Amino acid sequence: MNERRLQPSPWVERRRRIVNALGHGAVALATAMVLVPLVAVIWYTLREGIPGLTWDFFTQLPKPVGEPGGGMANAIVGSGIVVGLASIVAIPLGILAGIFISEYASARLAAAIRFVTEVMLGLPSILLGIFAYAVVVKPMGHFSAYAGAVSLAIVMLPIVIKTTEEILRLVPRHIREAGLALGIPQWVVVLRIVLRAASRGIVTGILLAVARAAGETAPLLFTALNNRFWHTTLDQPIATLPVQIFTYAVAPYEDWHRQAWAGALVLIGLVLVLSIILRLVVSRTHLEHEQ
């Protein structure tokens, strides 16, 4: 007789179905709304950028104002150099700092550094540009690739530190204990076992940082400035893709707009290619490193 009492009434059952459908719909709609701008950006960049992707675009210097044609060869190479320089500094430093916070720092010190890192993550990048201007450009007396790299390194550092630390903390404690119990010194356990276990996640952090740095414009305006020609040394202004895109996009010339779109497309493409290469390298070296 209890069975009947526990049966929900048809009305309750119907209401439950309606609420479920509504909830389901709301979640799906929210996901779709998130995807719309993402897909739109890529689609729009492709549509506007592909016509500008000529051979000249990759091989020529910018033409003087009013003259059609030319390309962004110097900016593509310049972006590579500035981001590369920044990576050489920021990636090892960031990984080491992440290791320190996760493996060596006391709980209180770790919390303090973590807090500072999070604040740094939230700083507007233009501020970092002004900082690099004050400490590098001013003393040197001129804009340079070095100054641009410094500002981008500051952009990258907190990202690398934070992802490294978070990924390392995901490696279970018993893995470290297993290493220590074999009589392996702690620093070797960290570098050869823990870091290895976390390598995929750390690569993701590096990619995030590189992608972010490659697209930064504001810090470069104060530091690397721009250059319409090939740079000859690294202590002079250098052209970079984001700054070139910015310059061309705000100019009143149809041809420059086309090139700005092409530049944006190249930027996306470069980041994509880099992430594919890095991921392939990591998954390949993962197991066969001692062959």
Q: Which stretch binds another protein (CB under 8 A): 84-92, 176-184, 218-226, 246-254?
A: 176-184
Which amino acid belongs to residue 99?
I
Q: Is 111 in the site for another protein (CB under 8 A)?
A: no
Q: Is 109 in the site for another protein (CB under 8 A)?
A: no
Q: Is 196 in the site for another protein (CB under 8 A)?
A: yes
Among 147, 189, 206, 221, binds another protein (CB under 8 A): 189
Among 21, 39, 111, 178, binds another protein (CB under 8 A): 178
**62-66 contacts, C-beta under 8 A, 24 or more apart:** 62/228, 62/244, 65/253, 66/253
Q: Is 181 in the site for another protein (CB under 8 A)?
A: yes
Minimum gap (Å) between residue 286 Cβ and another protein? 5
Q: Which stretch binds another protein (CB under 8 A): 35-43, 82-90, 143-151, 181-189?
A: 181-189
Distance CA 228, CA 64 (A): 9
User: Per-residue x/- mask for another protein, residues 153 to 172, rule CB under 8 A?
Assistant: ------------------xx
Distance CA 99, CA 106 (A): 12
Specify burial of residue 183 (Cβ count, 10 A radius: 0-12, 13-18, 19+): exposed
Q: Is 20 in the site for another protein (CB under 8 A)?
A: no
Specify burial of residue 126 (Cβ count, 10 A radius: 0-12, 13-18, 19+): middle
- The structure tokens listed for 13 are 């059952």
CA dihedral 59, 62, 63, 69 (to 10 degrees): 50
Minimum gap (Å) between residue 173 Cβ and another protein? 9
**Interface contacts to another protein, rule CB under 8 A:** 106, 171-172, 174-186, 188-189, 192-193, 196-197, 199, 286-288, 290-291
